[in-house]
Structure 1
């Protein structure tokens, strides 16, 4: 079926299903830190070191708010600041091993929760999800590019 032949209401229905699933998944995660802190750590894990201004833009917060958040995460040992070798005026925020471990643990908890739920589906439903994996992965790439903008 071509995109033009698809149900015109399908994008809205799919968007609603994905949004509902994502918000319920977020509610299941441990609440040991703010969602913005956890999202910032995940961004650093995906993209590598970033400027505070870039992190603020990626997470949709002000630069002063991100500066305060980075300070707290730095005091917790989750991130550290490094000077940029190419521009001495720039400071980059980097994950520490503890921060990377936190991201891996949190991600695995989410994967495990979905794995348990997927175990409740029928074989046909699992096959449908497997068939949708390329589209879901592409959608995640598009969302990431749209949200994070260019890498510094």
Structure 2
């Protein structure tokens, strides 16, 4: 049952809880066999989207400090998922880019998450699917205030 805000709408706490639970379930569906954190998967997805990219720019997109990002991407490079090279336009900076293994991993994760969600959505009635379709623009609107672009998310 959904908690309401007293004005006829769902409460912010209820929306946050449901969205977080759904995301966590989707993330766990593909991350169980990976030795990567959410932060690492997010960085990998952004590197795929924007790379080659400077570490400082990636840190800004991820909204984390540069030293934290350096610790985040190190295991990605060690696993052969990304490459790191000096920035030819600024010798003090590094560029990171995704390798084929990293691209394949992101593709697999997205496919697994989509398959899980498709199975769950298949259980919905036509009326529930229509309600979900109507809710998507509203949920997307909630992403716009101060959030990084949603297409950079790992899944």
- 1:75 maps to 78
2:75 and 2:19 mapped to 1: Cα distance? 32
Backbone CA RMSD of aligned residues: 2.8
- 1:18 maps to 19
**TM-score, scaled relative to structure 2:** 0.73
Deviates more, 1:59-68 or 1:102-111: 59-68
Which blocks of at least 5 consecutive residues in structure 2 are unaligned? 1-6
Where does 1:38-77 land on structure 2 (aligned, <5 Å)? Answer: 38-56=41-59, 58-59=61-62, 63-77=66-80
4+ runs deviating over 6 angstroms: none
Mark the CA change 1:83 to 1:139 in structure 2 (over 3 Å): closer, same or farther: farther
Mark the CA change 1:134 to 1:45 in structure 2 (over 3 Å): closer, same or farther: farther
Please tell me whether the aligned partners of residues 54 and 87 of structure 2 are also in contact (alpha carbons under 8 angstroms): no
Where does 1:1-150 land on structure 2 (aligned, <5 Å)? Answer: 7=8, 10-31=11-32, 32-35=34-37, 36-56=39-59, 58-59=61-62, 63-140=66-143, 142=145, 143-145=147-149
Which blocks of at least 5 consecutive residues in structure 1 are unaligned? 1-5
How many aligned positions are there?
Answer: 142
